[in-house]
């Protein structure tokens, strides 16, 4: 079984961060299961999710090494600046639809989205033992930051940033003097990735894979894994 932390604290109040679409160095701040306020696991479309919280840093223009935390204003018109922290939601358990099997089965298989993320963070895949995602807190990666849109409480369409992809950090050694960022401790859950709209390209791919499934050329389990990766 995968070891899991128990905190139900997430991110973030006020305006969600919006920065320029680009590649940025990022540091993993925390890994927490998606829970409700009572501490119970919340079930997503395909099963249970982990929330990987990343601090986004400004890259050095010459070396691409992280130089300082990216910041944004937490409220419109406010001069209060906060480090940019963006979460990546990934399934760690799929809901099983096979009779006679446990209700949930691990998503940590050779080609799954969570396995690819953990390998990017430094894990070497092995089916012989458990993996604790919190072991990789503090590790550096490079993230592809894109845009998504959501509606605020008044129905206004707002643009915010989301993590489109996570890649291995290949820059120089990160300086010990770089300003540190603490994980977000706000109680309100940010659903920025969970509710982000699909890109046109991914929507087309999803339609194609669903068609293959209907024709019997792709198994239900294969379709589930494809959808999980494209929708996150």
Q: According to the model, what pLDDT value does residue 114 have?
A: 96
Rounded CA-CA distance 37/35 in Å is 7
Q: According to the model, what pLDDT value does residue 185 have?
A: 67
Q: According to the model, what pLDDT value does residue 77 have?
A: 64
Q: What is the model's pTM?
A: 0.74
Backbone angles phi, psi at 193, to 5 degrees: -80, -40
Mean pLDDT over the full length of the chain: 81
pLDDT tens digits, one per residue of 90-127: 999 999 888 888 899 999 999 999 999 999 999 999 88
Q: Which band of pLDDT confidence, cut at 50, 70 and 90, is reported for residue 225?
A: low
Question: What is the share, in percent, of the chain residues with pLDDT greater than 90?
Answer: 51
Backbone angles phi, psi at 133, to 5 degrees: -55, -25
Q: Which band of pLDDT confidence, cut at 50, 70 and 90, is reported for residue 201?
A: low
Q: According to the model, what pLDDT value does residue 105 have?
A: 92
Q: Which two tokens stand for residue 49?
A: 């999710």
Q: Could you tell me which residues come within 8 angstroms of residue 205 by beta carbon, excluding any fewer than 6 positions away? A: 230
pLDDT above 80 for 79: no
More confident residue, 89 or 209: 89
pLDDT tens digits, one per residue of 136-160: 999 999 999 998 888 777 888 888 8
pLDDT tens digits, one per residue of 30-65: 999 999 889 999 999 899 999 999 999 999 999 999
Judge whether 66 and 73 are in contact, CB under 8 Å. Answer: no
């Amino acid at each position: 079984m995968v070891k899991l932390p128990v905190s139900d604290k997430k991110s973030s109040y006020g305006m969600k961060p919006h920065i320029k679409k680009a590649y940025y160095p990022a540091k993993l701040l925390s890994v927490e299961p998606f829970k409700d306020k009572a501490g119970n696991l919340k079930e997503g479309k395909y099963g249970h999710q982990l929330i990987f919280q990343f601090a986004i840093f400004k890259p050095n223009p010459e070396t691409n090494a992280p130089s300082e935390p990216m910041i944004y204003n937490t409220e419109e018109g406010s001069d209060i600046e906060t480090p940019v922290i963006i979460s990546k939601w990934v399934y760690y358990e799929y809901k099983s639809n096979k009779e006679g099997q446990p209700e949930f089965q691990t998503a940590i298989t050779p080609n799954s989205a969570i396995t690819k993320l953990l390998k990017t963070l430094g894990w070497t895949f092995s089916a012989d033992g458990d993996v604790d995602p919190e072991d990789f807190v503090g590790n550096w990666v490079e993230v592809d930051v894109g845009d998504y849109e959501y509606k605020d409480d008044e129905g206004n369409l707002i643009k915010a940033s989301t993590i489109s992809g996570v890649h291995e950090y290949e820059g120089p050694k990160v300086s010990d003097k770089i300003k540190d960022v603490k994980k977000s401790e706000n109680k309100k859950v940010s659903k920025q990735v969970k509710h982000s709209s699909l890109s046109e390209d991914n929507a087309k791919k999803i339609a194609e894979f669903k068609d293959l499934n209907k024709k019997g050329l792709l198994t239900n389990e294969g379709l589930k894994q494809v959808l999980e990766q494209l929708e996150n």
